[in-house]
Structure 1
């Protein structure tokens, strides 16, 4: 076979591969979900707020497997005001915590830290008010760290590990890059980035917007 024929065959094969291969940019897109203020309650505090032996009732499933928004809502109170109709997420957890935005925090006069969900030690005190009673807690109120849920396979594909911090570009009407986005990896997770309402409002972002990890920022474990 002549050299010219070989080169033509190679060119044809490369063109075919190019046409049938999904662009790398499509593999790297991460769906973004806007997470409004909500509360996770322990079994003890469900009873204190809603009554003895009370069980949460499901309104709708959330994107992460096994998690749901309940029909129940409560009030979060601080020294300067309160947040009404705060949704309770289920199922119950070992420790009670509430996740609000910075704007919410200013309204009720509290300065909660930015934390990963579940890391409540030393977070802000707050009061919860339900139809059957109230609970005052010394910690548990926080602003959620922007984060990405992903499976181990997703983490391998993106070249990240649990606990990494990355920067994420989010496309939309007002493109925005969010830094210090925490990577959370578990075989129970579905690929999705979570931001709060302040972050969403800053970039005119709606749930379902595409996000992309900024190349070269996928192994930053240092907080600024």
Structure 2
């Protein structure tokens, strides 16, 4: 049986170095709050406010380290609250997506694009993928068992020797399945 740990991903933002400096000040470096499941990734102490056409979230957690491009990841429910209609995309694929306003303690910026609903995916270390015969970008069917058992289709396999085995889904998906971080999913195909 191919079992994978589940990680539920609440709304969060990845910032570029330039945007960190615009929001927090020249030369500012993010402080680590806690390490995440993926090696080298962390939740930062810092948060920013995110403003859309209809709504605002005051404390959106920043995930570090800094990225090449700023990207806000929200659930579909979050998007409705902000008044945005972002596409479901893989991380890093922000072309043609909506933007929003970001407010930090040292400034604010309007990003022209970068808001997505993250596509559900599983991070595979290359050893795990090889053992199970899974290729990078392969679409998988994954079952979460329990009181609200659910099968998720089109779960993207992301394979790298930099990854640790973990399935990532957003809060809407987790709520639909009654799932929480630390649960186990089963890869069906």
Could you say which residue in structure 1 is the equivalent of 2:116?
142
Could you say which residue in structure 1 is the equivalent of 2:171?
197
Could you say which residue in structure 2 is the equivalent of 1:35?
9
In structure 2, distance between residues paired with 1:71 and 1:168: 33
SS at match of 1:53: coil
Contact persistence 1:172–1:209 (CA under 8 A): no
Q: Which structure would you say has the larger Rg?
A: 1
Runs of 4+ more than 3 Å apart: none
Could you say which residue in structure 2 is the equivalent of 1:105?
79
Alignment of 1:161-180 (within 5 A): 161-180=135-154
1:85-139 superposed Cα distances (whole Å, 9 cap, x missing partner): 1000000011110100000000010000101011111111111111111111111
Is 1:188 the counterpart of 2:166 in the alignment? no
In structure 2, distance between residues paired with 1:91 and 1:152: 22
Contact persistence 1:68–1:91 (CA under 8 A): yes
**Greater helix fraction, Structure 1 or Structure 2:** 1
**Greater strand fraction, Structure 1 or Structure 2:** 2
Contact persistence 1:151–1:190 (CA under 8 A): yes
Could you say which residue in structure 2 is the equivalent of 1:21?
none
SS at match of 2:113: strand
Provide the aligned length of Structure 1 versus Structure 2.
189
Could you say which residue in structure 1 is the equivalent of 2:126?
152
Gaps of 5+ in 2: none
In structure 1, distance between residues paired with 2:64 and 2:26: 17
Report the alpha carbon displacement of residue 144 of structure 1 after superposing the two structures with TM.
0.4
Which has the bigger relative contact order, CA under 8 A and spacing at least 6? 2
Could you say which residue in structure 2 is the equivalent of 1:55?
29
In structure 2, distance between residues paired with 1:100 and 1:158: 31
In structure 2, distance between residues paired with 1:212 and 1:124: 34
Could you say which residue in structure 2 is the equivalent of 1:11?
none
Is 1:209 the counterpart of 2:188 in the alignment? no
Contact persistence 1:34–1:195 (CA under 8 A): yes
1:38-81 superposed Cα distances (whole Å, 9 cap, x missing partner): 00000100010111111100000001000000000011110001
SS at match of 2:30: coil
